[in-house]
């Protein structure tokens, strides 16, 4: 694997598209290795929001082919103890800041995690990333990309609280359609619920007491809950904007009570 050139590079940043940061990053990458194929995952991550970036990225990276290089540049920083990491995990490569984002993506630190070295505080962020991406893309031994890491920065994600008859979770994502995703998984729902009926409670809306498979399983304008394609419990309104109409915000509490 280490000797196989990888040319597909995905980009996930909080740069936006209205100034020079993104095109400059792409220019450095292509200057370092002109054969790269750059693919945008998202550049609309709210500034510094590694939680949202990790949520989006977790749902995407596993669908790319083996050998893909993933570059994440969200809430990057230059500090005396600031570090950048290169990771090989499940036949793919990951490069980005050691600011907690990789703990949100992987949980535990992957075995092949390296700290990028050989740069100074005067090097631009783009040049640091371009050097690391080119190292991997050119098929150089991965273990020479930096120094072996013994730890990485951890950022703990909020986990649902469970009891015999309830699950208390939180809103973790609101998409552009204002559909609301929670951190309650289908597996957890089934383990605690054991086939019982339930009520979903969030904010001041009327409880929802049934699961839908599709949005149009309920009349237009009616709220519903369903498990999305990744197995997370979602609250939506058929042809409506659940977050806005129901006043739901990020990190709001969601409770499922089983009867």
CATH number of the 8-148 domain: 3.40.50.10790
For residue 3, the model assigns a pLDDT of 43
Stretch(es) of the chain classified as CATH 2.40.30.90 = 161-258
Q: Say if strands 146-148 and 253-258 run parallel, antiparallel, or are unpaired.
A: unpaired
Q: In whole angstroms, what is the distance from residue 33 CA to residue 94 CA? A: 17
Question: What pTM does this model have?
Answer: 0.84
- Categorize the per-residue pLDDT at 252 as very low, low, confident or very high, splitting at 50, 70 and 90: very high
Q: In whole angstroms, what is the distance from residue 104 CA to residue 19 CA? A: 28
User: Mean pLDDT throughout 172-180?
Assistant: 93
At the second CATH level, the architecture of 161-258 is: Beta Barrel (2.40)
Q: Any idea which of 73-87, 96-110, 130-144, 150-164 has the lowest mean pLDDT?
A: 73-87
Closest CA relative to residue 57, chosen from 43, 47, 67 = 43
Bridge partners (DSSP) listed for residue 202: 254
Burial zone of 205 (CB within 10 Å; 0-12 exposed, 13-18 middle, 19+ buried): middle
Closest CA relative to residue 71, chosen from 59, 83, 84 = 84
Q: In whole angstroms, what is the distance from residue 109 CA to residue 127 CA? A: 25
User: Mean pLDDT throughout 100-106?
Assistant: 94
Stretch(es) of the chain classified as CATH 3.40.50.10790 = 8-148
Structure confidence by residue, pLDDT tens digits, 113-163? 999 988 877 788 899 999 999 999 999 999 999 999 999 999 877 789 999
């Amino acid at each position: 694997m280490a000797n196989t050139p990888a040319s597909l590079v995905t980009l996930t940043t909080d740069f936006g598209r209205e100034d020079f940061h993104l095109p400059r990053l792409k220019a450095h990458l292509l200057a370092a290795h002109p054969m790269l194929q750059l693919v945008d995952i998202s550049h609309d991550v709210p500034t510094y929001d590694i939680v949202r970036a990790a949520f989006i990225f977790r749902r995407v990276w596993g669908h790319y082919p083996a050998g893909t290089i993933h570059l994440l540049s969200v809430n990057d920083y230059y500090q005396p103890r600031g570090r950048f990491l290169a990771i090989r995990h499940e036949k793919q490569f990951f490069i980005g800041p050691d600011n907690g984002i990789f703990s949100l993506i992987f949980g535990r630190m992957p075995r092949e995690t390296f700290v990028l070295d050989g740069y100074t505080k005067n090097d631009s962020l783009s040049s640091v990333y371009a050097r690391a991406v080119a190292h991997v893309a050119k098929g150089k031994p991965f273990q020479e990309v930096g120094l072996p890491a013994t730890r990485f920065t951890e950022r703990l994600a909020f986990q649902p609280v469970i009891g015999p008859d309830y699950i208390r979770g939180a809103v973790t994502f609101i998409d552009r359609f204002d559909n609301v995703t929670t951190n309650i998984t289908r597996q957890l729902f089934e383990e605690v619920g054991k086939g019982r009926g339930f009520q979903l409670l969030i904010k001041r809306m009327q409880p929802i007491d049934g699961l839908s498979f599709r949005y149009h399983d309920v009349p237009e304008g009616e709220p519903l809950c369903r498990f999305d394609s990744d197995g997370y419990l979602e609250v939506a309104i058929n042809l409506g904007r659940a977050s806005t109409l129901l006043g739901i915000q990020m990190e709001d509490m969601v409770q499922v009570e089983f009867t």
